[in-house]
A = this chain, B = another copy of it.
Amino acid sequence: MQLTKGVEQGICIIVLLATQESSAPLASDEISRRLGVSPSYMKKITRKLVVQGVVVSVPGNNGGISLAKAATDITLLDVIEAMEGPIRMYPDTGLISLAFHEGRYAQKGQELLRSVFSQGDRLLVEYFSKVTAADLLKEGLGMSDLPTLNWNRETLSDVLDKEQDDFK
């Protein structure tokens, strides 16, 4: 019942991209350094986000990945499904049918369980589809308008400090 580590990594990637200058795609090699995994592995992870349609990629020189849409339109569900596929809690191995093979109630019981668990699935889908990347950033940073920077050079703190200075 635990989400995979990939979900956590995916969230980090989205956060990085959401605060990245839109003009400059972020190279997955850079992300891999930051998250402490190999460049080749990070490419596998980012690829999943591309396939899901949350991220777009451009190969070649000065290439990399960037968000495919606004942070307000990217949800936690997107990230989870990118990494794990559709949410399906029930491990449907047909055991009910096997166990109660002789009885005519096996089929009915099997269907009942499926519907009970898929109702649970729906609860999660509903919940996670309402949590957007923008929500996370807003609450996490305590500000509504996102700062943008180039993660290849700067850190988030640098930018936030600078803005604070401007405010004074």
* A interface list, Cβ under 8 A from B: 1-5, 7-9, 11-12, 15-16, 34-36, 76, 80, 84, 87-93, 95-96, 98-100, 102-105, 108-109, 112-113, 116-117, 119-120, 123-124, 127-128, 131, 136, 139-142, 155-157, 160
Contacts A8-B96, A89-B3, A102-B155 given: A140-B123 contact, CB under 8 Å?
no
Whether B5 contacts A93 by the Cβ 8 Å rule is yes
Whether A131 contacts B157 by the Cβ 8 Å rule is no
Which residues of B sit under 8 angstroms from A80, Cβ to Cβ?
1
Q: How far is the CA of A108 from the CA of B108 in the complex (A)?
A: 48
Which residues of B sit under 8 angstroms from A16, Cβ to Cβ?
99
Whether A123 contacts B113 by the Cβ 8 Å rule is no
Q: How far is the CA of A27 from the CA of B41 in the complex (A)?
A: 49
Which residues of B sit under 8 angstroms from A141, Cβ to Cβ?
105, 108
Whether B35 contacts A3 by the Cβ 8 Å rule is no
Q: How far is the CA of A98 from the CA of B141 in the complex (A)?
A: 17
